[in-house]
Structure 1
Amino acid sequence: MRAGEDVPLTVGIDVGGTNIRASVVDGSGEVLDTVTAPTPHSARALEDGLARAVRELCGRHAIGAVGLAVAGFVDEDRATVRFAPHLPWEDAPVAQRLTERLGLPVILEHDANAALWAEYRFGAAAGGRNVVLVAIGTGIGAALLSNGQLYRGSFGVAPELGHLQVVPNGRACPCGKRGCWERYCSGTALVDTAIEFLATDPQRSTLLARESGRDPGSLTGRRVAGAAQDGDPVAQEVMADFARWLGLGLAFVSDIFDPDLIVVAGGVSSSAPLFLDDAREHYAASITGARHRRLARIRTAQLGEAAGMIGAAELARAAVLAEQNGHPVAQARR
């Protein structure tokens, strides 16, 4: 019998600001079927879209539960979306509404938590005990595993590592603060740093400078990384600066949590060969008492953009199995 074959199929849904992606996932973390749809802009329409996606998958598979990975604040009971900056929910009892509509157990989870759980069960974090996941994309999302359990804090919103202030009175952040870590270590930060570096020597002729001069709005983090890969000196300096901030931030995180493993995820992680070795060196040089303690291993994620769906589905499965075994609906240990 294949691992996980005796547990129910579940649906994991990545509820993004642009698209809904819903997948049927088995007990071994394999994605069996997926449907996608644009994300509606009202709460009712969004819940209608989620219900349609689940019903379509239920028409092809026997589904036992549903997990939603949400980029926003989820309450400690994993039932209510308190706030999601790119979704039309605020203090919304989403799990109850969808459970009533679908007749299936529904749980919510912060998308970074779901991704970490997937990596822990089936990917780069397997075998870790105290693990930090740092998802680097437009900003920084983060999750923490403590002794094999997701740590959500007292009110369900921990840890917001991307908004640690690393530069007093630094770059403005959409969160309202200045100098947040994600303003120096993210896809957005790559663009901001590139613009700053180009401005210091506007006559410098590089591929990045020419592209930026023709259409400043075309510059993206992906393009900066691509230019660095192609040997552009300014882009390479930008990536070196990014590596420094990543290593410094991970040292802060390790001083607080002392993890044995750090997983770097998110879209920027696909460019890890350009920065990860340097980031490890900055991390080792910046951590408190480095010569007298063991350092965390730093790895890149393995499951890619499917991690949130896989993790949400696996957490929903754990809740169902716990209920079947007469335990309260809660996260099961691995």
Structure 2
Amino acid sequence: MLTVGVDVGGTSVRAGVVDRRGTILDTARVGTPSGAEALNDAIVSVISSLTARHAISAVGLAVAGFVATDLKTVMFAPHLAWRRADVADRISRKLDLPVVLEHDANAAALAEYRYGAARGAKVATLIAIGTGIGGGLLLDGKIFRGAHGVAPELGHLRVVPNGRPCSCGKSGCWERYCSGTALSATAIELLAGHPGQSTVLAREAAGDARSITGRKVAGAARDGDPVALRAMAELARWLGEGLALVADIYDPEVIVIAGGVSESAPLFLDDARELYRDLVTGSGYRPLARIRTAQLGDDAGLVGAATLARDVANGRH
């Protein structure tokens, strides 16, 4: 039974044919258009290119946004054009296939539970660290979505009162201190506080501070740049703080670190684990969560969406 998973991102729409083992057999990609109807058409187009080559039974979309508990409606997606949009029904009618939606972090968590780093865990949390932070929670293999479909919004836990402003409208959110965007902001703050430093990042910032991306900071840290290393240490600190909060709330068996920033895990994860052990309530008197990096990488959301579509089609959801 083959299904299609679609990772609907702010820059591209990536679809893949997935079998029951979680293996991706074929892929297709298009750019993400700006309008809601144009986005629907792009998704239909990329899926149709796969259904022309494979017998597909159902489709799942992984969306960076609030998905209603009916798994059909996108209530809000900050980087996409949908607002209270009945996305699943519209696309289903055009494809003549059943379509379900899921928050991208939830989809990634499901994939890691079935096929990857969280396999078989009774309580598993996924923290996707990229431009921001996404979170997923699985209880006995079931996705926990909250009463209205928006849980768990871990990236917007407020960790610093009156801290850095966040695009969500609050200030001091966890993702403003622990993400690729945060890594860039921290490096720029460090450079501004110590002008005249002769480092790779200082030379880069002299041209245009906006060119300092999280990816560039991570690369400079690998090369031993002192400012980049300090920025990475700050990210490790805030990751450790957040992991302790997550463990205090959920008491998970495993926490999976996913997202683009996880590719640089050797630079920060050991320090974050150590701080987590120090800060979690009852440390030394309780079992601690295993903290692991994701095994499926960028494919997790796509595979998870396809897996959910298969579950729904088989009556397992």
**TM-score, with length taken from structure 2:** 0.98
Among 29, 32, 39, the residue aligned to 2:32: 39
Q: Distance in 2 between matches of 1:315 and 1:12?
A: 9
Q: Counterpart in 2 of 1:327?
A: none
Cα shift readout 1:290-313 (whole Å, capped 9, x = no counterpart)? 011111000000111111110000
Runs of at least 5 residues in structure 2 that lack an aligned partner in the other structure:
none
* Residue in 2 that maps onto 1:59: 52
Aligned to 1:222: 215
- Deviation of the 1:222 alpha carbon: 0.7
Provide the aligned length of Structure 1 versus Structure 2. Answer: 317
Partner in structure 1 of residue 243 of structure 2: 250
Are positions 1:197 and 2:197 aligned together? no
CA distance in 2 between partners of 1:202 and 1:256 (Å): 41
SS of corresponding position for 1:95: helix
CA distance in 1 between counterparts of 2:13 and 2:252 reads 32
Identity over aligned pairs, percent: 63
Aligned pairs for 1:60-209 (under 5 A) are 60-209=53-202
State yes or no: 1:313 paired with 2:302.
Answer: no
Letter in 1 for 2:217: V
Alignment partner of 2:190: what SS?
Answer: helix
- Measured after TM superposition, the shift of residue 42 of structure 1 is 1.4
SS of match in other structure, 1:12: strand
Q: Deviation string for 1:220-278 (max 9, x for gaps)?
A: 10111111110111111111111010000010011000001000000000000000000
Q: TM-score, normalised by structure 1?
A: 0.93
Tell me how far 1:215 sits from its aligned partner: 2.4
Aligned-pair CA distance for 1:94: 0.9
RMSD, aligned CA: 0.9
Deviation per residue, 1:162-207 (Å, 9 max, x gap) = 0001011011111111100000000010111111111221022222
- Structure-1 separation of matches of 2:309 and 2:140: 20
Tell me the alpha carbon deviations over residues 97-126 of structure 1, each in whole angstroms, 9 at most, x when there is no partner: 111111111000000000111111111111
Q: Deviations over 1:122-175 (max 9, x none)?
A: 111112110110000110011001122110000000000000010110111111
